[in-house]
Amino acid sequence: MKTIQAYRFAVDLTPAQGRAALAHAGAARVAHNWALARVKAVMDQQTAERSYGMPEDMLTPSVSWTLPGLRKVWNANKEQVAPWWRECSKEAFNTGLDALARALKNWSESRSGTRAGRPVGFPRFKSRRRSTPSVRFTTGAIRIEPDRKHVVLPRLGRLKLHESARKLARRLDNGTARIMSATVRRDGGRWHVAFCVEVDRAERRPARPASVVGVDIGVKHLAVLSTGELVDNPRHLAAAQARLRQLGRALSRKAGPDRRTGQRPSNRWRRASLRLGRAYARVANLRRDGLHKLTTRLACEHGTIVVEDLNVAGMLRNRRLARHIADAGFGELRRQLAYKTEWNSGRLVVADRWYPSSKTCSGCGAVKTKLALSERTYTCTACGLTLDRDLNAARNLAALATEVGPAGSGPAAARGADRKTRIRGPVAVKREPGTASAGQTGIASPQGGAISRALTRAHGW
């Protein structure tokens, strides 16, 4: 199975190499800002000409928003815009123009309604201080040295890696990988190089192909599995909050940049800003490491994994829980599960956003109308089942995979998974078409007794 995979390594640059990398990142920013200014000028001119009543065929010619079109305009004007362009690789300017072409395409598709998701705004100019230095190389000499401790990139030369690249080097030597591009980027005060590689992965199978596990993601516990396992939430951001406050206060006491007066930051401000950036980068690295270990274990062990389609952006609007939700990394956990289950020949089932996993009883299938977030123990008024609400939700998710079947990989909506919770406890109602009996007279449930029967088949309860 061929797939696109990234290999990221930290690099130890010499002062000269660091200046060269910053120069290439600056060249990408210059090309991006100049091309964006050119596009905006043409658009404003066309708007003014339309206000004068000029016909469309007499308007100022438009600038192509594609990468070849922007590159053609840049090559025709680079001698006047950047006389120093020979000092940097052509890939640096191509990086900035490619970013602008993608941004304009996303904005255009979002404005026309052909792009799904949240609205995308018009591209903005990149700041030298606030933007992240980055440059991508797609052509030229890109290789790993035989000692596996150095890489060679165009114009930057031979760069020393902070760690060994033996895993990628083995694939390259065996012919099961091909480097497509290399991106040099500075994160948290450190430089990294990321190789975009086309990898021919061997077919793998989970250790338990027939196993079905439901994963309920939360804040108290990062994940509650239908098997009863509780994965603790490490809360890396909360643990580092005291040091982050200390470093933030220290930074505020230094003389920083001021655009209104043109004041440049002091050297002490730069060092304090670097310390704060490293502290935040450490939190991000710890979170990423924990999520990778959890998702790899789940994908390698279970054949089917069921998660919920959470509205993370909406959950972040809760000012009391936003920091904890962001610290847990709900979206990143689902993203990693999506491609790792594919790598291991597994199946990921995503429950519908309106599927009442927490309100449904995993024993009899009765659904509660309301369930407050403060109620951490689920008590069924129909059958008397009492258990942790997160474990109850995880068991319902596991049963959903059995109902969907082998062909239900991907987003799945169970019966009754709509915006309204139909069942108001054990109330005698008229049974709707397509619903199943909960095993008791006069009780209608979206899943009925199918949940308990499915869980019995899957786990032997």
Task: Note the pLDDT tens digit of each residue in 303-362.
Answer: 999 999 988 988 999 888 999 999 999 999 999 999 999 999 999 999 988 889 999 998
Averaged pLDDT of the chain: 87
Task: Note the pLDDT tens digit of each residue in 179-219.
Answer: 999 999 998 889 999 999 999 998 899 999 999 999 999 99
Predicted confidence at residue 208, as pLDDT, reads 93
Residue of 98, 187, 216, 327 marked active site:
216
Using CA atoms, how far residue 145 sits from 62, 164, 172, 444, in Å, is 46, 11, 11, 67
Q: How many CB atoms lie within 10 A of CB 78?
A: 19
352 catalytic? Reply is no
The residue extents of the domains of the chain are: 2-14+133-200, 29-112, 210-345, 352-461
Residue of 79, 390, 403, 432 marked active site:
390
Q: Is 72 a residue whose pLDDT tops 70?
A: yes
Predicted confidence at residue 150, as pLDDT, reads 96
- Is pLDDT larger for residue 297 or for residue 402? 297
How would you class 91 by CB atoms within 10 Å of its CB: exposed for 0-12, middle for 13-18, buried for 19 or more? Answer: buried
Q: How many CB atoms lie within 10 A of CB 195?
A: 21
| Cα torsion angle, 450, 454, 455, 461, sign | positive
Q: Which of 34-43, 292-301, 371-380 has the lowest mean pLDDT?
A: 371-380
265, 169, 220, 240: which is closest to 376 by C-alpha?
220
Task: Note the pLDDT tens digit of each residue in 208-247.
Answer: 999 999 999 999 999 999 999 999 999 999 999 999 999 9
Q: Tokens at residue 36, please?
A: 């964006």
* DSSP secondary structure letter of residue 125: P
* DSSP secondary structure letter of residue 274: H
Rounded distance between C-alpha atoms, residue 310 and residue 168, angstroms: 35
Rounded distance between C-alpha atoms, residue 257 and residue 254, angstroms: 10
Q: Is 271 a residue whose pLDDT tops 80?
A: yes
369, 376, 458, 454: which is closest to 414 by C-alpha?
454
Q: Is 95 a residue whose pLDDT tops 90?
A: yes
Predicted confidence at residue 391, as pLDDT, reads 93
Task: Note the pLDDT tens digit of each residue in 401-459.
Answer: 877 666 544 555 444 444 554 444 443 333 334 443 333 333 333 344 444 444 444 44
Predicted confidence at residue 375, as pLDDT, reads 87
| Cα torsion angle, 25, 29, 31, 32, sign | positive
Predicted confidence at residue 406, as pLDDT, reads 61
Residue of 91, 98, 187, 308 marked active site:
308
- Is pLDDT larger for residue 375 or for residue 79? 79
Rounded distance between C-alpha atoms, residue 103 and residue 260, angstroms: 29
**Residue type, position 97, single letter:** L
308 catalytic? Reply is yes
Predicted confidence at residue 405, as pLDDT, reads 62
Using CA atoms, how far residue 85 sits from 17, 75, 141, 275, in Å, is 18, 10, 19, 33
Predicted confidence at residue 452, as pLDDT, reads 44
Task: Note the pLDDT tens digit of each residue in 124-170.
Answer: 999 988 899 999 999 999 999 999 999 999 999 999 999 999 999 99
Calculate what percentage of the chain has a pLDDT beyond 90.
Answer: 67
| Cα torsion angle, 422, 428, 434, 440, sign | positive
- Is pLDDT larger for residue 33 or for residue 449? 33
H, E, C per residue of 163-204: CCCHHHHHHHHHCCEEEEEEEEEEECCEEEEEEEEEEECCCC
- State the Rg of the chain over Cα: 27
Tokens 């936003």 — which residue? Answer: 322
